[in-house]
Amino acid sequence: MPDSPSRKTDPDLTGVKTVNLFSVSSVTLNLSSSAQPFPSGFRCLDLVMALFVAILITSNVASSAKIVDLGVSLFGFWDIPKVALAFDGGTLLFPLSYIFGDILTEVYGFRASRRVIWTGFGALALSSLIFFLLRVLPGETVWESYAGSAAYDAILGGMSTGGIALASLLAYLVGEFANSMSLSRMKVLMKGKLLWVRTVGSTLLGELFDSFIFVLVASLTGVFGWELFAGLVLTNYLFKCGIEILMTPLTYLAVKRLKKIEQTDIYDIGLHLNPFTRG
């Protein structure tokens, strides 16, 4: 390894950004360490973050709005009770946030992923506050006649009274950071090989924390009945992990494309993976 980093400028980005790269055994790496500033100047990072936050907020509204029951049950043989495959509406979208989380960590490193995760946390908290303010404001007479506060509370009560909001915020933080940190470490340990093992493995861990914490807190706050607990945890976990596995080819394509556009491949060598460190 040379004593000082070589500098490589993407000809397509002349005047826009310059990427510092280290050449190690013919593999070009952008090493992220505690001494480096937060990655900036990337062409697609803001777009990926916007999509991530949009999916996050939409999925949490859907979680409060409806619980889906496919009419299918697992088990129900021998002495094992049936577990209905019921899941909240957000389950359809939320796994996509983990795919974006994988892309962020794989392409841009843990520093960028951490900032995006906290940005999503702030946006989710703000949306919950807005729904709460709408709930306490008096309703217009005509609106009350065909919809009303009771309907608002029934559909969006979880987002506006703390149940879904608290469950989502806690589960989101723990799950996303578990996913990002484990993926970052596996990338270094596996020297960037077997992307599918790293994305699926990190998602299995992150979704386990997310599904359990979300349903537990939502049940404790009265959003879901306890009779749904086992079914929701199991269904949410299996469904989300299944989507991650099915989307692996698209994750590969997105990672490959973004690395080519950004002309970077960040390895978090020597970086302390602290979710609460700024920068």
Domains of the chain in start order, with CATH, are: 44-99+110-257 (1.10.1760)
Pairing relationship of beta strands 19-24 and 83-88 according to DSSP bridges: unpaired
Average pLDDT over residues 161-186: 87
pTM for the full predicted model: 0.76
**How far, in Å, are 41, 74, 161, 231, 261 from residue 234 at the CA level?**
41, 10, 25, 5, 38
Give dist(CA 78, CA 107) in Å, integer: 47
- Residue-level pLDDT at 49: 93
Average pLDDT over residues 12-27: 36
**In terms of Cα–Cα distance, which of 35, 20, 106 is closest to 272?**
35
**pLDDT tier at 9, thresholds 50, 70, 90:** very low
Burial of 7 (0-12, 13-18, 19+ CB in 10 A): exposed
pLDDT tens figures, 229-265? 888 888 878 877 888 888 889 899 999 999 999 998 9
Is the pLDDT confidence value at 16 over 90? no
- Residue-level pLDDT at 96: 80
Helices (H), the chain: 45-65, 94-136, 141-146, 148-161, 163-189, 195-220, 229-246, 248-262
**pLDDT tier at 162, thresholds 50, 70, 90:** low
Give dist(CA 239, CA 4) in Å, integer: 47
Is the pLDDT confidence value at 205 over 80? yes
Pairing relationship of beta strands 6-8 and 19-24 according to DSSP bridges: antiparallel
**pLDDT tier at 101, thresholds 50, 70, 90:** confident
Which of 38-42, 93-97, 154-158, 185-189 has the weakest average pLDDT?
Answer: 38-42
Structure-token pair, residue 103: 């892309």
